[in-house]
Amino acid sequence: MSTGASAADLPAPDAGTGELVVRVRGLVNRFGAQTVHDGLDLDVRRGEILGIVGGSGTGKSVLMRSIVGLRQPDAGQIQVLGVSVPPGPGDDPQHVQRNTGILFQDGALFSSLTVGENVQVPLKEHQPGLSERWLYELALLKVKLAGLPADAIYKLPSQLSGGMRKRAGLARALALDPPLLFLDEPTAGLDPIGAAAFDQLILTLQQALGLTVVIITHDLDTLYAICNRVAVLADKRVIACAPLRQIEQLDHPWVQDYFHGPRARAAQQAAQRKD
């Protein structure tokens, strides 16, 4: 089904209101002869939940890793919370690390450390003067914030279910009270009930803590349940960044397939019932 709207009819990737917390301009990422991003632009506004979607191979995780400084792009400019990535002369090289939290797709927990010890890792790195008592109390607070029982702090990752490991990874991402949170496929591998509960947790935390959240996801339920805007990666760039109802109208093959199939209609109907 084609609705006739083109990318030119939608807000540009830098359109919108609110203070910028992430600004990406002209991003280029290559892997050998393969160009994944070619002139990609993206803005993230303070206080929003932004979903990033795209087909396989569009470089969603590569974009996230570039933004947080885990990958050196081949060209382009990135600013996060007013600081260049990678940091320029006079920039605090630890600023982005201290002020962003990342939940990787598999949780990326240290298997030999307990949940509490995992949460304490960034605290020990960036706040080395904290006493053992404070480290324990802060880790316990983050574990509870992530919706885990208090005794989970003593468990190893191997003793947790998939959903609990996601929450443990989230607790670690929240350890330093970052204003900016990146989530890479946070509901992947969860059953529908667990995924919906995780979505609600993210929304509750975002509202309670005033977070800005960037979510890489293929989960249509997540997009419709909690995202304010959605950025679509296709053709090596962000072709549109707008509220979902506007994205649905985009006349692009991938968008039409993704947002107008049976699975999308079910997610849309579920969102309408909640409204």
pLDDT in tens, 200-237: 999 999 999 999 999 999 999 999 999 999 999 999 99
Question: What's the CA angle centered on 77, arms 215 and 18, to 5 degrees?
Answer: 55
Banded model confidence at residue 1, pLDDT cuts 50, 70, 90: very low
**What is the Rg, in whole angstroms, of the alpha carbon atoms belonging to the chain?**
19
> Residue 194's Cα: distance from chain center in Å?
18
Half-sphere exposure of 150 (CA within 13 A, CB side): 4
pLDDT score for 15: 46
For 48-70, write each residue's pLDDT tens digit.
Answer: 999 999 999 999 999 999 999 99
For 132-143, write each residue's pLDDT tens digit.
Answer: 999 999 999 999
Residue appearing with tokens 């800005």: 212
Contact 143, 116 (CB under 8 A): yes
Considering only residues 261 and 21, tell me which one the structure prediction assigns the higher pLDDT.
21
pLDDT score for 187: 94
In order of start, what are the domains of the chain with their CATH numbers?
A: 9-81+180-242 (3.40.50.300), 106-178 (no CATH)
**Least confident interval from 105-109, 137-141, 183-187, 239-243:** 105-109
The amino acid that residue 59 corresponds to is G
pLDDT score for 89: 85
Query: 163-189 in b/e burial notation, b at 16+ Cβ within 10 A?
Result: bbbbbbbbbbbbbbebbbbbbbbbbee
Banded model confidence at residue 269, pLDDT cuts 50, 70, 90: low
| Sheet hosting strand 75-80, strand order edge to edge | 34-45, 20-31, 75-80, 83-84
Task: Provide mean pLDDT across the span 164-189.
Answer: 96
pTM for this predicted structure: 0.90
Distance CA 120, CA 134 (A): 10
